[in-house]
A and B are shown apart, each in its own frame.
Chain A
Amino acid sequence: MTSRTFFFNILRFVFLIIFQVLILNHINLGGYINPYFYIYFILLLPFSTPRWMLLLLSFVLGISIDIFTNTIGLNASACLAMAFARPFIITAISSGNESLIGDTPSLRTQGIKWFLYYSIILILIHHTALFYLEVFRFSEFFATFARVLLSGVFTLMLVLISEYILNTSSK
């Protein structure tokens, strides 16, 4: 990891937490949709990040969000599940012939298909863990499932939008 990517990641970390806590946590559409965009940080960590660091960073990210929402452990455990799955997802969807270009997962270098698979699967893992842990009742299984899907779509939209904006501005 060069010092430049290191710096950008720290900046992203702080910005995403502030954005999530001050703006996104107040969004509620129809009682079902509330986006958790802060996981964009985990999505964008470089491929070369050591796996222990991946877990630790996700844990710190989740706990920081938890501190502001007073749900200590909830976001942290969802983030950990997502970070745990990330290396396996990457190997699973990058078949041998197409090697990973660049250091950071992005829509421009990896292509739309790869990036969509990557983010959809990881967002779903995170949202499923988060919402089911929060509710912790099977009697509301389908209502929770709807929340997972709808919020996931919203988070994915935010991820794609920022991918497009950031890619055009940087190059």
Chain B
Amino acid sequence: MRNLFLFLREHYFYFLFLLLETFSLILFFNYNEFQGSALYSVSNSVSGSVNNLSSSVTEYFSLRKTNRVLIEEMAKLHSRIPEAFYATDLNVFYKKDSVVKLEYKYISAKVISNSTNKRNNFLMINKGSLHGIENHMGVIIGNKIVGQVVNVSPHFSWAMSMLNKDSKISGKFKKNNQLVNVEWDGGSYRTGQVKEIPKHVQIVKGDTIITSGNSDIFPEGLLIGMISDFTKVQDENFNNGEIHFSTDFNSLGYIEVVVDMMRKEKEQLRDSYKSQSKNKE
């Protein structure tokens, strides 16, 4: 026993290193399970308030740009209000409430921390569960997509940006509705990868890729980007391409969180089918 203590004392440096290193690696790999813990809430509130402070300063540098975006957005909205239409026949524009039901609702929020230089990038938003944000909601800017919410606290949300190895967006060609997957393999934050383009699709540089609406995260038709390059892969069923993102991930100011009001219904439908087919077996 005495020898053991002597041994431990002599090599305490190695053991302390192993202990601490194991501890931090466990923290790193189990981070998602720790999110409910005290460590997470401390970390979230500390970084949230510091990021809030820093963005309240840096906000001023992009006022000009924010203004421009807002004006564009306003012009777009102005062109949609009823007064902007010339009423040829009132009945054409009349829609019964029961015909149209609101499916998507948008919550505007501010990005208070953001990164583009990591392999896995996230952004923090200054609104949280108190404002109605939940996990797996989409994050968009204008009509361009940004990412999805992966964690919420009462006042902040933590969203995975498209620049993440776990991000896989279901998109489609605007011209012929062929489905593809959009991912990001690291490198420049302006370009991503389009995977699984069916062989028979004629690709042209400049083809627009929009969201497919197949996932419950984004509505259909939001801009993802344009094809900037592509390769024809021999001996495989799919081609790959490069995409130039429409979103400038490095200058996100105010974004919107998409609330799919009918997600619960969709999920229930799927789940009930799953349980049905299970019962049959």
Contacts and interface: CB of A to CB of B under 8 A. Distances in A.
B88 interface: no
A84 B17 contact: yes
Interface stretch (A26-34, A41-49, A101-109, A161-169): A26-34
Interface size class of B (residues with CB under 8 A): 35 or more
**A interface, by DSSP: helix, strand, loop or mixed?**
helix
B106 to A, nearest CB: 25
A27 B115 CA distance: 9
B173 interface: no
Interface string B23-58: 011111101001000011011101100110010000
Nearest to A21: B50
Contacts of B20: 55-56, 59, 76, 80
Contacts of A52: 12-13, 16
Contacts of B218: none
Interface in A1-45: 21-22, 25-28, 30-34
Contacts of A62: 24
B189 interface: yes
Contact of B122 (A30, A63, A67, A70): A70
A68 B24 contact: no
Contacts of B28: 71-74, 76-77, 133
B59 interface: no
A132 to B, nearest CB: 10
B165 A137 contact: yes
A68 B188 contact: no
Given A70-B158, A72-B28, A73-B26, A140 B186 contact: yes
B21 interface: yes
Contact of A81 (B21, B43, B44, B47): B21
A67 B46 CA distance: 8
A54 to B, nearest CB: 9
A72 B39 contact: yes
Contact of A73 (B31, B42, B118, B124): B31
A56, A77, A134: which has the most chain B beta carbons within 10 Å? Answer: A77
Interface of A: 21-22, 25-28, 30-34, 51-52, 55-56, 59, 62-63, 66-74, 76-77, 80-81, 83-84, 87, 131, 133-135, 137, 140, 143-144, 147
* 4 tightest A-B CB contacts, nearest first: A73-B28, A28-B117, A73-B27, A31-B188
